[in-house]
């Protein structure tokens, strides 16, 4: 496979209309922020998102995650899971081979009609399945592997960080034991 072939859908923002440009010109002068009217297919995307939300527990064993189908995901990625929000976003362009009214995630087997979107969805569902644990506040100290030079130069004495830094530095300096 050639190196220049992209495996993911490349995002390109939609072209702005004259009305959108007019609103954007005045937005920085205190004018109203332009809110695009909902498109004719917004109801289909809400239905698809609800059906994917219903399917998520069988993949991630979680009932608290909300799935949304977005024209642009907040990260710019084709799909993303946000553990702190318990939200999974999927870009509508991943369903490009199908018209929204023909997509029915509530029917098992229908995912064969949109394999790219289903693959991204299951990938993010795996993140959701393995993202239940959060670091307790007392263990959120700076670790030496976070690339913060200050923790290497002058770690506080007798802390887990300094102990780990000394152990790492010692293991790097010492020759391997036969």
DSSP string, 161-178: HHHHHHHHHHHHHSPPP-
- More confident site: 27 or 52: 52
Residue in 135, 123, 142 with CA at minimum distance from that of residue 78? 123
- More confident site: 69 or 35: 69
Look up the CATH architecture of domain 19-129: 2-Layer Sandwich (3.30)
Q: What is the distance between the alpha carbons of residues 67 and 80, in angstroms, rounded to a whole number?
A: 10
Neighbours of 111 (CB within 10 A): 18
- Confidence (pTM): 0.57
Query: In this model, does residue 149 exceed pLDDT 50?
Result: no
pLDDT score recorded for residue 16:
76
Query: In this model, does residue 4 exceed pLDDT 50?
Result: yes
Domain residue ranges in the chain: 19-129, 142-171
Query: In this model, does residue 21 exceed pLDDT 80?
Result: no
High-pLDDT (> 90) share of the chain, %: 41
Where helices occur in 1-159 by DSSP H, the ranges are: 18-27, 42-60, 115-129, 149-153
Query: In this model, does residue 147 exceed pLDDT 60?
Result: no
Model confidence band, residue 152 (pLDDT cutoffs 50, 70, 90):
very low
pLDDT tens track for 128-146:
999 877 777 777 665 555 5
37-41, 69-73, 88-92, 150-154 — most confident range: 88-92
Q: What is the distance between the alpha carbons of residues 37 and 39, in angstroms, rounded to a whole number?
A: 6
Query: In this model, does residue 47 exceed pLDDT 50?
Result: yes
Contact of 77 with 70, CB cutoff 8 Å: no
Query: In this model, does residue 151 exceed pLDDT 70?
Result: no
pLDDT tens track for 48-102:
999 999 999 999 999 999 999 998 888 889 999 999 889 999 999 999 888 999 9
């Amino acid at each position: 496979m050639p190196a220049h072939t992209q495996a993911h859908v490349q995002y390109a923002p939609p072209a702005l209309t004259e009305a959108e440009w007019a609103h954007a010109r005045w937005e920085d002068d205190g004018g109203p922020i332009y809110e695009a009217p909902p498109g004719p297919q917004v109801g289909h995307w809400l239905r698809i998102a609800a059906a994917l939300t219903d399917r998520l527990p069988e993949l991630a064993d979680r009932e608290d995650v909300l799935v949304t189908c977005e024209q642009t995901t907040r990260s710019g990625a084709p799909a993303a899971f946000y553990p702190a929000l318990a939200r999974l976003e999927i870009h509508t362009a991943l369903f490009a081979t199908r018209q929204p009214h023909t997509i029915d995630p509530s029917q098992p087997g229908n995912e064969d009609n949109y394999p790219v979107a289903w693959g991204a969805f299951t990938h993010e569902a795996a993140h959701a399945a393995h993202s239940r644990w959060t670091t307790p506040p007392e263990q959120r100290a700076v670790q030496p592997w976070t690339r913060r030079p200050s923790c290497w130069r002058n770690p506080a004495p007798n802390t887990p960080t300094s102990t780990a830094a000394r152990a790492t530095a010692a293991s790097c300096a010492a020759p391997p034991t036969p």
